[in-house]
Amino acid sequence: MTTQTATTADRAVHPIPTSRIIGVELRKMFDTRSGFWLLTSIGVLSVVATAAAIIFAPASALSYQTFATALGFPMTLILPMIAILAVTSEWSQRTGLTTFTLVPSRGRVIGAKAIATIIVGIVSMLVAFTIGAVGNVVGSTLAGVDTVWNIGPAHAAQIVLGNLVGMAIGFTLGVVLRNSAGAIVGYFALSFVLSGILVLLARVREWFTDLQPWIDWNHTQIALFAGQTSSAQEWAQLGSTTMIWIIIPLVIGMVLLRRSEVK
């Protein structure tokens, strides 16, 4: 009886550790050609943007903020695409059946994808900040001017948070739509089309001017990039747009994802 009990215990199935799932999801973000080149392009475009700032920016404008601004545009486009593909690749490449068979809890898989996405976003931003810092030193040296460091830790943290918000929007669209093309189109529609409509509405309708910061996620993201989110009201506005565009859609998307058939 004792031997039988020991054999049964030895055969007990232990769940896959979350750390291992996160590691697998990180590796999967590099395995595909699209994921590999998107991640590679972060470093390449950071170098290109830094070189362009050194070449074209006047000596009086050379500062760390100039390089951060130059690096910001490619980051705001590439990082959300990485977040989208981290989710939709399970359906576009039809690996979802294998993934959810090995880890039946879809919530754990999506949670691991979210953590892996955050890790990639933070590391990418650190790489971009480092390249920008090198560019700032080289550019000021070549121009013969003093090196200006006009972005403090608080502002840098807000820039990172702003990019993570963009990644969260992309990740949410990936969970809700589970289609790469649809999620990418949806992201650009939210970023440029809807945001433009809300800005125009705020200009032509006075009553909407005060309401816009509470519902326009792009408005609060720009404030983060500029390091202008400091008051309690501005943080509350960030919380409001996050609730509207990230938390609520993500909860709905997770409910639909749990019930959807994986083929």
Instruction: Map out the domains of the chain as residue ranges.
Output: 16-259
- pLDDT score recorded for residue 93: 73
- pLDDT score recorded for residue 12: 60
What count of other Cβ atoms lies within 10 Å of the Cβ of residue 207?
A: 8
- pLDDT score recorded for residue 117: 94
Q: Decide: 223 and 229 in contact? Cβ < 8 Å.
A: yes
H or E segment at 141?
helix 106-143
245: DSSP letter: I
pLDDT tens figures, 211-248: 999 999 999 999 899 888 888 999 999 999 999 999 99
Q: 250: exposed, middle or buried (C-beta count within 10 Å: 0-12, 13-18, 19+)?
A: buried
**Largest interatomic CA distance in the chain:** 84
Residue 155: CB partners within 8 Å, gap ≥ 6? 227
- pLDDT score recorded for residue 212: 92
Residue with tokens 């754990």: 108
List the chain residues with pLDDT less than 70.
1-13, 263
Residue 183 in tokens: 């999620």
- pLDDT score recorded for residue 2: 52
Residue 64: CB partners within 8 Å, gap ≥ 6? 132, 133, 136, 148, 149, 150, 151
- 133 to each of 50, 143, 215, how far by Cα in Å? 9, 15, 34
- pLDDT score recorded for residue 96: 78
- pLDDT score recorded for residue 13: 65
Residue 83 in tokens: 């977040």
- pLDDT score recorded for residue 1: 47
- pLDDT score recorded for residue 11: 57
